[in-house]
Amino acid sequence: MTAAPAPPSGARAVRLGARSTLTLLLVGVVGLSGFLWPLLAPPESSVAAHQEDAPWLFAGLLLLLVAVTAATIAESGLGAKAVAMLGVLAAAGAALRPIGAGTAGLEPTFFLMVLAGRVLGPGFGFVLGSVTLFASALLTGGVGPWLPFQMLSLGWFTLGAGLLPRRPAGRPEIGMLAGYGFVAAFGYGTLMNLAGWPFMAGQVAAAIAPDPGAPLADNLARFTAYCLATSMGWDLGRALLTTVLTLSAGPAVLRALRRATRQAAFEAPVTFEAPGSSGKPEPSGRA
């Protein structure tokens, strides 16, 4: 059995087909609905009437959707070598997350997700982000109704890194990844604030709690005040740490990931040689 030469660094562990892309788009639409409903649901809607139950329903739905999307992407070509890479990177990401213990948003996992998504592509990135958060929750005991929202958010975070332009290389590439990590870290924090905001309705000041009967502009102002009052320091710490680690350790980690990708040869077809094609004489079968 022989393998073709290793593919170039642009090779992907998972090539997204039409079915996988459509699934990602549909999950994106439903997922955004799960995050944005406190802002968009009209006061007379049944969702607004069940403000205390809706987050739990959306959490269950998103967990199912993330599982279906990961299965669809895996079915499209997540081979044994890609699964092994997924396991190693997810374990590394889950192990990195407790290092900062979430203090001031210092979570080095996000730096690894940016670089892995860049090298291994958006399809692999979405699965990696989701699996990493799931493994981390099991490791740290962080399982709760927020977990599906975290899995989807980090899946999008890592997917986005895989969608960045392929052209920059060297220092411009590192700068681009650092900039993306800074902005996307705030995006992750904002999404998680949207997910947790309805749960906090009875635990925060009325001025920043969601009001189903208020107009969109009023709820946007309330949500902005909620973010500034509760999580701005955490989001800034996460963004700064991701940027610093990307600028300092990013080049070495990128080289290691690309070397591993070339050696894995995800897209190299495996061929089988016919007996005797190596030029060596075959045994005659006689004693």
Mark 189-212 as b/e (b = at least 16 C-beta within 10 Å).
Answer: bbbbbbbbbbbebeebeeebbbbb
Q: Which domains does the chain have, with CATH numbers?
A: 2-269 (1.10.1760.20)
Q: Which pLDDT band holds residue 75 (cuts at 50, 70, 90)? A: low
Structure tokens at 14: 């998972």
Alpha helices in the chain (DSSP H): 18-40, 46-49, 54-75, 80-96, 109-120, 122-140, 147-162, 171-196, 216-230, 232-264
**CA-CA distance, 222 to 200, in Å (whole number)?**
13
Q: Is the pTM of this model over 0.75?
A: yes
- Contact (Cβ atoms closer than 8 angstroms) between residue 260 and residue 130: no
**Model confidence at 45: pLDDT above 70:** no
**Model confidence at 11: pLDDT above 70:** no
Q: Who has greater pLDDT, 266 or 232?
A: 232
Q: What is the dihedral of CA 210, 214, 216, 218, to 10 degrees?
A: -80
Q: Give the highest mean pLDDT range of 28-42, 65-79, 150-164.
A: 150-164
Mean of per-residue pLDDT scores for the chain: 80
What integer pLDDT is reported at residue 71 of this predicted model? 73
- Contact (Cβ atoms closer than 8 angstroms) between residue 187 and residue 199: no
